């Protein structure tokens, strides 16, 4: 055992395979998406920013609609999650992008020739609200919620 063995363990299996000559390509290459620019796979920074914008918008709407609820209470949290879910579902189903996605220039598309339907958007939104599926993603940046319904998030501008 030498430093390379330990180094490959620390850097992960992808780095070890790349060191052996395996080429994974760039994110989105297997879906024939461009490497950069419009239509390329959205990077994690933009996706997290969009999610943050959507969540803060839901908090603001909760404050406006439910002034009697105290911030930090279970009722306020439940109302915020409900508004977040409704906002993400309705906007994604009708425009292909939530409020936050639109601001940071992202869009949801299907990886097949079939359009993203209402049931797929509903399932994806439900899985997103569970949080864990969105935290596990593949080499193309697709979370389990995207893999489950056959979608990918791309740059729209």
pLDDT tens, residue by residue, 22-74: 767 888 988 999 999 999 999 999 999 999 999 999 999 999 999 999 999 99
Q: Please answer whether residues 27 and 41 qualify as being in contact, where contact means their C-beta atoms are separated by less than 8 angstroms.
A: yes
pLDDT bin (cut points 50, 70, 90) of residue 98 is: very high
Pick from 57, 45, 31, 22: which is nearest to 109 by CA? 31
pLDDT bin (cut points 50, 70, 90) of residue 9 is: low
Whole-model pTM: value is: 0.84
């Amino acid at each position: 055992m030498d430093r390379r063995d330990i180094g490959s363990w620390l850097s992960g299996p992808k780095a070890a395979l790349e060191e052996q000559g395996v080429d994974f390509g760039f994110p989105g290459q297997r879906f024939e998406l461009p490497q950069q620019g419009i239509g390329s796979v959205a990077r994690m920074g933009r996706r997290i920013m969009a999610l943050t914008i959507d969540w803060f918008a839901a908090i603001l709407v909760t404050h406006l609609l439910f002034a009697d609820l105290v911030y930090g209470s279970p009722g306020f949290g439940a109302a915020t999650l409900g508004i977040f879910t409704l906002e993400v579902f309705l906007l994604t189903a009708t425009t292909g992008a939530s409020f936050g996605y639109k601001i940071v220039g992202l869009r949801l598309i299907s990886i097949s020739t079939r359009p993203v339907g209402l049931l797929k958007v509903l399932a994806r939104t439900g899985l997103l609200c569970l949080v864990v599926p969105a935290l596990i993603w593949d080499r193309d940046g697709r979370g389990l919620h995207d893999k489950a319904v056959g979608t990918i998030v791309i740059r729209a501008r």
